[in-house]
Structure 1
Amino acid sequence: MISKTTLPALALAAVTSSFMCSGSAIAADTSFPAIQSEPEVGRLAKDFELEVAAGQRTGAVRLSDVTGEGPVIIAILRGFPDRQCPACAGQVADLVRHARYFQERNANVLLVYPGPASELRAKAKDFLKDTKLPSPFTMLLDPDYAFTNAYGLRWNAPQETAYPTTIVIGKDGKIDFVNISRTHRGRTTAATVLDQL
């Protein structure tokens, strides 16, 4: 259960500065193919394995392992292009407020945080601040945009990282819903995601 005091901490992550990194640098996963096409409804989602930054899981998460448990929601955030993204913080806070509804539907929510590998873990912790992600949420690291490129979602422009995207994947591994925002707005709400489940 998330208290009302922890949600503002997540929203305030948008205006924070740096956080000291404790741990080693993260290497990019070279098992990803080069830049691929964007995700499309009806297609099988590309499998991936990413390291956990925070949440209910530890180690690494492989998509094909969690789809067997139920539907999967993937929210690709903008990471840290030059500062934390307020729209990302708002979307994550909205999703977290609805955590019990995702749990009731046996859904996993994976937050993908992209960026340069050297400071990625520290920036992801800075984004969350002191907010503990509830079940069924897990934040994953996308070092050097390996996942972002594989999913065709790299926003390759100054001060940008990834197109903010929400994907809903069914237990069969196929994409049931996708929303790709070409701006800093247009984020998918928790209500929309829940309607897809």
Structure 2
Amino acid sequence: MLTLRFAMTAVLFVISGAALSAKEAAPDSPKVGDVAPDFNLPVVGNDDMMKLSDECKNGPVVVVVLRGFPGYQCPLCSRQVGALANRAKTIGEKASRIILVYPGEASMLDKHAEDFMGPRTLPDPIVMVRDPDMKMVDTWGLRWNAPRETAYPATFVLDENGKVAMKLVSDSHAGRSTADDIIRALKKL
């Protein structure tokens, strides 16, 4: 089933430097072995800030970049977040934090991010942050420059030094990391 999923979507999936697809989405994004660029982003629902380098000091961190609000709430983003929330306890045994990045234009980002969350509460160690005006997305080379797009869906597993240990960047709305993908990558650290 995993092979079929990759055959159906052109995805760049890198674990320990091995590419599983020929097509490269967001070629300027951090590569396996690179130290991920730092960010300091506001937490959804309040004005607390989350700095990536501070989170890495506590252990491995998973960074999941969602599509944000490209004119609608992405159902695949909702499904991915729900699946990660369902496995948060297991992922949290190896990762100190799972950071969900919700990018978009600053003017309505707070409202759209809160609408995306709806009544759900994310379990520890998951936190959702806002990326106003997609500065993090730009810095990480994940901007999807097409009509009604924001960012390539992406997942990065970082070690305690902030180095990329696993990377998955999709060039479609699908082809996203699963909780099992993340757990496997964390077990290799």
2-structure distance, mates of 1:47, 1:128: 25
Superposition map of 1:52-91 within 5 A: 52-54=43-45, 59-91=48-80
- The aligned counterpart of 1:46 is 37
Count of residue pairs the alignment pairs up: 160
> Does the alignment pair 1:146 with 2:145?
no
CA distance in 2, matches of 1:179, 1:37: 13
Structure 2 SS opposite 1:121? helix
What are the residue-to-residue correspondences of 1:1-197 with 2, within 5 Å?
37-54=28-45, 59-197=48-186
Deviations 1:133-174 (A, max 9, x none): 111011010011100000000001100000000010001210
Ranges in structure 2 where 5+ consecutive residues have no aligned partner: 1-26
TM-score, normalising length from structure 1?
Answer: 0.78
Give the whole-Å Cα distance in 1 for the aligned partners of 2:31 and 2:103.
21
Partner of 1:10: none
Match of 1:75, as an amino acid? V
* Worse-matched range after superposition: 105-114 or 75-84: 105-114
**Secondary structure in 2 matching 1:53:** coil
> Identity across aligned pairs (percent)?
43
* 1:107 CA drift (Å): 2.5
Structure 1 residue 90 displacement after superposition: 0.7
Unaligned segments of structure 1, at least 5 residues = 1-35
